[in-house]
Structure 1
Amino acid sequence: MLCGIVTFFQPQLTVVFLGFVTVLLLYRKTWRRVYCSCVNLPRDVHFTYHSLAFMIQFKYWEYKTMTPPKVFQQFVRKHPDKPAFIHEDKVWTFQQVEDWSNQVANYMKGLGVKRGDCVALFMEGRPEYPAVWLGVAKIGGVTSLINTNQTGIVLQRCIEISEAKWIVYGTELSKSLGEITGDLKVKKILYIGNGTPVEGSVSLVAETANQSKLAPIKDMNAASMGENLLYIYTSGTTGLPKAAIMTHARFTVASLAGKGLLNIKNEDIVYTALPLYHTAGGVLGVGQVILGGSTQVIRSKFSASNFFKDCVKYKCTVAQYIGEICRFLLATPQSPADRQHCLRLMYGNGLRVQVWKDFAKRFQIPQIAEFYGATEGNSNTVNAWNQLGSVGYIPFFLKVFFPIRLIRVNEETMEPLRGKDGLCIPCQIGEPGLIVGKISNDKALSRFNGYVDEDATRKKILKDVFTKGDSAFNSGDILMEDEFGYLYFKDRTGDTFRWRGENVATSEVEGIIYRIIGLKDSTVYGVEIPHVEGRAGMAAILDKNGEVDLVKLKDGLKKHLPAYARPLFLRILKDIPMTGTFKIQKVKLQNEGYNPSSIPDPLYFFDQKADQYRLLDQNLYNDIVNNVIKL
């Protein structure tokens, strides 16, 4: 009987089966999306849970006007004797940080620092660093975090654009600051440290010794989450370093988002060998102490040989990195400390896929969290799921509400492409595009505070992006999204490239070259070196009559630029390619690279050991690209 039933329905079953196969073939993209959504479900639930928890926490603090100094005080009351910051053999407890930051606040108020006034901080990483800006924040002031690599006119410019009238510096930087103090219009210069101070400066430690340790409650209660907290310098896409605005709200968002998705707890000990003037170490690191109650171990300068030894010594459970750090660590000899540590998480940015896998395997790091973002931007993402090479992701089911998008750009000009409706064109899956963040100033995650320079702020805003009348932050970076929503960094557009973990503004370097050798036509760009993170600087200089003095150029670059910003390669041109509008064809020169076998122009390479520019021949080129010469 059963056989009879099957025989009776066999034609119908065949039709159904063939129809089912046809639907799968016709709508395989839909089914693939369903499959990807199912695979992503645990990740998306994790993201949604922590995002909601983060928003609830932030909204509560915003409603209560719980600025970072106020949140920090909660942890002081909770565990006053717990280490907040550890530096070498010095331990600062939460209570000690609170007390001295209050003394700084009361002293600065006595100097005349008012709400909105700026104090420049020029010092290497140590516990006093966050304590100084925390104290300034308690009276409503703003602290500009000056890059310790800056010298000369660039250092002077960084201080001037912040309109700082007071400077706090470390005596390890006395030489750099002393060279420009005569040109600065400031009211007072204060130092920290045991080195030789700049003439006319006074000790901040001595000046604050007799100040009250009571918090300036009245000033703290007058604060708002929208007020400026820090100025953090970024190269941007053009010009000298720009002072990006970090508000109390922005600092809170950046710290809380990482804390939630990465599950950094108050019992964690975070190791930071990054400079505290950057967002990574100074916000995402320090923020875990201020807003999370964790402990941070600060190392003033990165040391590859001591990185994991320090992690073992201080029993660190979390560590920060930039891509260069991981490469340097991987190049060190094998050591017992490689696996004696108790790190469960390392987070940072700039880690290449080629290094990632080997690094995690050798040092037995359970989780690596790579993030993407700009200090001033609102298009920040984080990869909290160990996805190899990814810098974050866009949740598929929240895509409509998510403020981040990839849009198509012209490959030559890197300008956004627009459709017939005048709006930007979204990228398809697997298509590289410019990452932009929709600006909604009434939402904490989508706010764009920009720079101190309002003109620079306007240049970073795109109009009519998704709908008529809207605006978005132009990151200047090219990313790609895969079918699972993961994002991968591809390239950096504009006039900025990244080298040695630092952003280099090409127009800044071009300006210095012009000042040194007086040649009108020169251009600077970044070029790739195999198996080395970032792009090395290369300068193409028009020199028809052989007037370039390479020794003078080298000495001038060393005087006016930090090491990471000095061009590693030079190309001397008899003629320079121009566009129809008389702009140098930088992309063409960049694509041609620095291979002497294909470039007829004289090429030079900066030999650090010999401290000179050497003629780049084929043998030297081969040594560079094959990593015989270590960079």
Structure 2
Amino acid sequence: VEEVAPLLAEKKNAVPVFCFGENQNNNFPAKSLNDLLLSACSTPPDVDCKLNFHDRLLYIYTSGTTGLPKAAIVKNSRYLWIAIGYHYALHIQDEDIIYNCLPLYHTAGGILVVGQALLFGNSVVIRPKFSASKFWDDCVKYNCTVAQYIGEICRYLLAQPERPIDKQHKVRIMSGNGLRVHIWEKFTKRFNIEQIYEFFGSTEGTASLFNNNGKVGAVGFISQIFGTFYPVILVRVDPITAEPLRDKDGLCVTCKPGEPGQVIGRLYPKDPIRQFDGYVDQSETKKKIIQDILKKGDVGYLTGDIVVMDEDGYIYFKDRTGDTYRWKGENVSTTEVEGVISKILGQTDCVVYGIQIPGTEGRAGMAALPDPERKINMKELSSDLHRQLPSYAVPLFIRLVDRLETTGTYKLTKVGLQKEGFDIHKIPDSIYYLDKETKCYLPLDENTYQLIHSGSLCL
């Protein structure tokens, strides 16, 4: 850094982005940043094409809340809105150095943070992979003042042995989503974080919420005085189908304080900030649109997220609807996992869903498989799943059932299965858990169940 800094100072348009960490794949030759800077042209290149504010800039794949992962369209306008909004919401200063250990193919890492370097010239420290043991060491070494998180990161950091360096860093701001209420104050106190900025949003969505005053557990705020002017509303949904409920006039029913509801972002075609650019697949785009919300003809974006608002207007995340659950900081598409399992088992029906485990963030994957004669080879199933799915998407539990319940229209149901979770005292079926050491499914007995339930056995 000491060698590069003078060179950066000479180049007025240079963006001070410092990257560290080993190239684990070693699939490209190492080059000196000094040489690259000296050989770089000092004048802008000639550009033949005319760039437009509404041009497509890139695609970011997201699992969404229904169906398979899909390519969300990110236009120039959206990229600018996301990065600029983040900058001013956090009150990021010119001298701030931002620590980023999240994947750059995620909006959080690749737009929110990297955008601060590209648009505002902030220094950004990029770590190829999150390390709980090195997190604060990195922040101290590179004088970071702002850092990002997801809920799992905060929990992993708390699980590390306490060290003096926990408070020797200069990080004053941490932002992200998923910091749960039961560890919020413990986290800020142990690591001496002045301000937590929790937010709610998605890559493609138009519903954004922000908690900028440190209200413990809240993901955002909607003023109860000017709530009708804010383009985010909460509507009641059917607890089984998650479909918005309608009144006698065919309009959505808004939620009262303390009542769970789905977040909807109202769309305004003439407002670039409130436009839903959707996905490359237009049929998927249509699934996320809802009409006649508060009045005939108005249009909105269905987030698929269930939240609760208190009497003061603070919003608290409750659950996700549809075919997605979140585990290890990743959105897992149940449709995708079901497709892989069905193929492995010769196109057998199966149901995949997320269940809650005490002491963990998000939901752990569980698959219910019809196997009345108990013929499935669990060792082979585990091996095939690890070969065809990323580690975070491999179900942690397998439940063997005699048959799967269906609706009147022959759709597989999972609500009842989700409620039962992995409680062997209530479930008569055979249940297997994924052993972390052997990566094989083993029978879930009373002793193992108690260890998982108490948090002594980490999955």
Which residue is equivalent to 2:154? Answer: 326
Q: For the structure 1 residues 284 and 517, does the alpha-carbon distance in structure 2 shift closer, same or farther, using more than 3 Å as the test?
A: same
Q: Of residues 68, 73, 77 in structure 2, which corresponds to 1:240?
A: 68
Stretch moving more, 457-466 or 389-398: 389-398
> Structure 1 residues 613, 346: CA separation in 2 closer, same or farther (over 3 Å shift)?
same
**Hey, what does 2:239 align to over in structure 1?**
411
Partner of 1:350: 178
The equivalences for 1:211-610 within 5 A come to 214-219=43-48, 222-610=50-438
Q: Is the Cα–Cα contact under 8 Å of residues 322 and 351 in structure 1 kept in the other structure?
A: yes
* 1:85 maps to 2:17: yes
Whether the 8 Å contact between 2:337 and 2:393 is mirrored in structure 1 is: yes
User: What CA deviation, in whole Å up to 9, does each residue of 1:176-221 have, x standing for no partner?
Assistant: xxxxxxxxxxxxxxx7456xxxxxxxxxxxxxx999675344346x
Residues 213 and 569 of structure 1, relative CA distance in 2, 3 Å threshold: farther
Q: When the two structures are superposed, what TM-score results if normalisation uses the length of structure 1?
A: 0.68
Structure 2 Cα separation of the partners of residues 449 and 193 of structure 1: 38
Instruction: From the CA coordinates, give the structure whose radius of gyration is larger.
Output: 1
Cα contact 1:265–1:292 (8 A) shared by 2: no
SS of aligned partner of 1:357: helix
Shift in Å, 1:399: 1.8
Offset, 1:270: 0.3
Letter in 2 for 1:545: E
Paired residue secondary structure (2:325): strand
- Aligned-pair CA distance for 1:266: 1.8
User: Deviation digits for residues 277-335 of structure 1, max 9, x if unmatched?
Assistant: 10111111111111222110000000111101111110101000000000000000111
How far apart in 1 are the matches of 2:43 and 2:177? 39
Distance (whole Å) between structure 2 residues aligned to residue 352 and residue 393 of structure 1:
16
Deviation at 1:395, TM superposition (A): 2.4
| Alpha-carbon contact 1:405-1:437 (below 8 Å) kept | yes
Between the aligned partners of 2:215 and 2:245, the Cα distance in structure 1 is 30
Deviations 1:513-555 (A, max 9, x none): 0111114210000001111000000000011233312122111
What is aligned with 2:35? none
Q: Secondary structure at the match of 1:509?
A: helix
Question: How far does residue 77 in structure 1 lie from its aligned partner after superposition?
Answer: 9.6
TM-score, with structure 2 as normaliser: 0.93
Identity %: 48
SS state of the match for residue 301, structure 2?
strand
Indicate which of 619, 626, 629 corresponds to 2:447: 619
Q: Offset at 1:578?
A: 1.6
* Structure 1 residues 42-81: aligned runs within 5 Å: 80=12
In 2, are the aligned partners of 1:595 and 1:618 still within 8 Å (CA)?
no
1:383 and 1:271 map into 2 onto residues whose CA distance is 20
| 2:367 partner letter | A
Partner of residue 3, structure 2: none
* C-alpha separation in 1, matches of 2:356 and 2:218: 20
Q: Partner letter of residue 532 of structure 1?
A: T
Alignment-mate amino acid for residue 285 of structure 1: V
Closer, same or farther: CA 213–558 of 1 in aligned 2, 3 Å: farther
**Residue pair 1:357, 1:388 contacting (<8 A) in 2 also:** yes
Does the CA contact (< 8 Å) of 1:519 and 1:542 recur in 2?
Answer: no
Over residues 402-425 of structure 1, what are the superposed CA-to-partner deviations in whole Å (9 max), with x where a residue is unaligned?
110000001111110001111111
Deviation at 1:171, TM superposition (A): 7.8
In structure 2, the gaps of 5 or more residues are: 1-7, 31-37
In structure 2, do the counterparts of structure 1 residues 575 and 419 end up closer, same or farther at CA, with 3 Å as the change threshold? Answer: same
1: CA distance between counterparts of 2:11 and 2:372? 69
8 Å CA contact 1:235–1:242 kept in 2: the answer is yes
Query: For residues 185 and 257 of structure 2, what CA distance do their matches in structure 1 show?
Result: 25
Instruction: Tell me how far apart the structure 2 counterparts of residues 333 and 219 of structure 1 sit (CA, whole Å).
Output: 56
Deviation at 1:444, TM superposition (A): 2.5
Q: In structure 2, give the amino acid aligned to 1:88.
A: F
| Residue 24 (structure 1) aligns with | none
Q: 1:524 to 1:606 in 2, by over 3 A?
A: same
Any idea what SS the aligned residue of 1:397 has? coil
Task: Indicate how the Cα distance of structure 1 residues 211 and 296 shifts in structure 2: closer, same or farther if over 3 A, else same.
Answer: closer
The superposition leaves residues 349-382 of structure 1 with CA deviations (integer Å, 9 ceiling, x where unpaired) of 1111111111001001000111111111000111
User: Contact (CA 8 Å) 1:516, 1:552: kept in 2 or not?
Assistant: no
Q: In the TM superposition, what is the alpha-carbon distance from 1:596 to its structure 2 partner?
A: 1.1
Unaligned stretches of 5+ residues in structure 1: 1-75, 90-125, 127-169, 175-190, 195-208
Which residue of 2 is the match for residue 118 of structure 1?
Answer: none
Q: State how far apart, in whole Å, the 2-side matches of 1:193 and 1:420 are.
A: 67
Q: Is the 8 A contact 1:339 1:364 kept in 2?
A: yes
What does the per-residue CA deviation read over 1:122-171, in whole Å, with 9 as the maximum and x for residues that have no partner? xxxx9xxxxxxxxxxxxxxxxxxxxxxxxxxxxxxxxxxxxxxxxxxx88
Q: Residue 378 of structure 1: SS of its match in structure 2?
A: coil
**2:65–2:303 CA contact under 8 A, matched in 1:** no
Q: Would you say how many aligned residue pairs link Structure 1 and Structure 2? A: 448
Structure 1 Cα separation of the partners of residues 121 and 17 of structure 2 = 11
Which structure shows the bigger proportion of residues in helix conformation?
A: 1
